[in-house]
């Protein structure tokens, strides 16, 4: 006997005011992404990654706000509806678009999703609410801090292998050479997107003892701070340890982050005793703030 299809309208299972506040926050974040200045290809790609992450979470929030969260319903469908409805109608050779045109198109896509999110916000008060249901957690929330921590350690432990592989390309084409700390950060910025939706680079830490430090990356959803160092002739065991000890003390007051991962790229083997340096720094952990040091290559 065929299962009867449920054609009943979706019912809101999340408190209306709570949902409106959440959507308002998402709209605010979308506007921030939309207004990020974009002047080159790299900035364009960075903004698109932020947009895709933002858009994915929006879809989850809308889908999980209803009792039919495991099925397609009109509100999920409306938000997911593609902006590019005319894309398949064009035939023949196309002129290569300029960077400015491509940037403008992506801005229009972001604005399109922002408009639909605002429309959903405006209709919430008119939806039928049924208390007693517990909204499903977001996928991004299911990837808890331990998952993020383990993925990050695995990624950092293989960084040198990746850096060596990308040095050799077909026909001697240009590639990324890791010559200083900025090169390390640049490659890591791309690799982190594999596991993390919300990667915030160069975030200032709270002031402490009259000074502050700039944290290289904040993985906000996983509660992880990531500090990056690359050794050189002037930055070896003693000086490196002293600098990082000061930074650790400052980073402890960073809100909502309980893990600090320090990645030291020792490409040219400037650290005489890696085990001792790692142990000295990790002993600066406290119960509410764990310090983990990854030195690669080991």
pLDDT of 85: 37
d(CA 90, CA 222): 43
- The residue among 205, 226, 80 whose CA lies nearest residue 159 is 226
Q: What are phi and psi of 9, to 5 degrees?
A: -70, 150
State how far the alpha carbon of 77 is from the alpha carbons of 47, 73, 74, 88, 211, in Å: 24, 6, 5, 20, 50
12-21, 123-132, 272-281: range with lowest mean pLDDT: 123-132
What would the pLDDT profile of 25-77 be if each residue is shown by its tens digit? 999 999 999 999 999 888 888 888 788 878 888 888 888 888 765 445 678 87
Residues 116, 152: one domain?
A: no
Residue 80 placed within a domain: yes
Confidence of residue 209 (pLDDT cuts 50, 70, 90): very low
Answer yes or no: is pLDDT of 212 > 80: no
Q: Which domain holds residue 264?
A: 143-296
Residues 106, 33: one domain?
A: yes
What would the pLDDT profile of 234-279 be if each residue is shown by its tens digit? 999 999 999 999 999 999 888 878 899 999 999 999 999 999 999 9
Answer yes or no: is pLDDT of 148 > 50: yes
Q: Are the C-beta atoms of 284 and 245 separated by less than 8 Å?
A: yes
For residues 260, 136, 56, 142, the Cα torsion angle rounded to the nearest 10 degrees is 30
Q: For residue 256, is it left (φ>0), alpha (ψ between -120 and 50) or beta?
A: left
Arithmetic mean of pLDDT, 145-171: 83
Q: pLDDT > 70: what percent of the chain?
A: 80
Mean pLDDT of the chain: 82
Residues 175, 263: one domain?
A: yes
pLDDT of 142: 43
pTM above 0.85, yes or no: no
Residues 279, 147: one domain?
A: yes
Answer yes or no: is pLDDT of 177 > 70: yes
DSSP symbol at 203: E
CATH number at residue 259: 3.40.1350.10
Helices within the chain (DSSP H only)? 16-34, 41-64, 74-80, 99-123, 139-142, 145-157, 159-165, 181-191, 237-251, 274-282
DSSP symbol at 2: P
Token couple for 178 = 């890791």
């Amino acid at each position: 006997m065929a299962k009867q299809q449920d054609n009943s309208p979706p019912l809101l299972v999340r408190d209306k005011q709570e949902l409106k506040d959440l959507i308002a926050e998402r709209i605010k974040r979308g506007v921030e992404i939309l207004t990020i200045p974009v002047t080159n290809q790299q900035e364009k790609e960075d903004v698109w990654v932020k947009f895709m992450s933002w858009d994915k979470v929006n879809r989850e929030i809308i889908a999980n706000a209803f009792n039919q969260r495991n099925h397609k319903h009109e509100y999920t469908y409306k938000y997911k509806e593609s902006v590019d409805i005319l894309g398949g109608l064009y035939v023949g050779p196309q002129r290569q678009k300029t960077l400015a045109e491509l940037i403008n198109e992506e801005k229009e896509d972001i604005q399109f999703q922002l408009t639909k999110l605002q429309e959903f916000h405006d209709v919430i008060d008119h939806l039928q609410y049924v208390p007693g249901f517990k909204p499903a957690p977001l996928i991004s929330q299911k990837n808890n801090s331990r998952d993020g921590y383990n993925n990050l350690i695995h990624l950092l432990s293989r960084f040198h292998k990746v850096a060596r592989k990308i040095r050799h390309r077909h026909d001697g084409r240009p590639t990324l050479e890791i010559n200083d700390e900025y090169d390390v950060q640049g490659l890591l910025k791309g690799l982190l997107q594999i596991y993390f939706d919300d990667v915030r680079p160069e975030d200032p830490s709270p002031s402490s003892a009259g000074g502050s430090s700039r944290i290289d990356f904040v993985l906000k959803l996983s509660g992880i701070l990531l500090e990056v160092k690359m050794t050189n002739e002037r930055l070896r065991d003693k000086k490196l340890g002293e600098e990082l000890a000061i930074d650790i003390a400052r980073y402890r007051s960073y809100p909502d982050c309980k893990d600090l991962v320090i990645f030291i790229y020792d490409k040219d083997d400037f650290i005489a005793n890696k085990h001792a340096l790692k142990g000295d720094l990790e002993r600066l952990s406290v119960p509410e703030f764990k310090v983990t040091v990854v030195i690669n290559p080991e």
